[in-house]
Amino acid sequence: MFALLHLLGIFVIDLYKSRRRQSPRFHRVTGGLEITAGLLLLIPATSRAGAIGSVVILLAAVMTLIRYRDWTHLPGAVVLTAVAVAAATIRG
């Protein structure tokens, strides 16, 4: 769901983008990567690649939260990243 919002550049994204001084097209790259990882998860032959891609995307998100000191969103992102790592491990 959020991948689609990122890809379309919904107004909520503008708030985050302005706080983090990201490129105006950054949300399209992020959304495209998230949708690609999600589609890879759906196909049994590529589900491991999708799980690993999801972990990489989430780790980048956690690093971004730490870099911009957004401590309120960090615990949820860390938990979600841990779940993605567990899923990638199980699929391996």
**pLDDT (tens digit per residue) in 5-64:** 656 655 555 555 556 666 767 777 888 898 899 999 899 999 899 999 999 999 998 998
Instruction: Give the Cβ contact number of residue 92 at 10 Å.
Output: 8
Q: Looking at per-residue confidence, does 10 or 83 come out higher? A: 83
User: According to the model, what pLDDT value does residue 73 have?
Assistant: 84
Whole-angstrom distance, CA of residue 31 vs CA of residue 67: 20
User: According to the model, what pLDDT value does residue 90 have?
Assistant: 85
Looking at the whole model, is its pTM more than 0.75?
Answer: yes
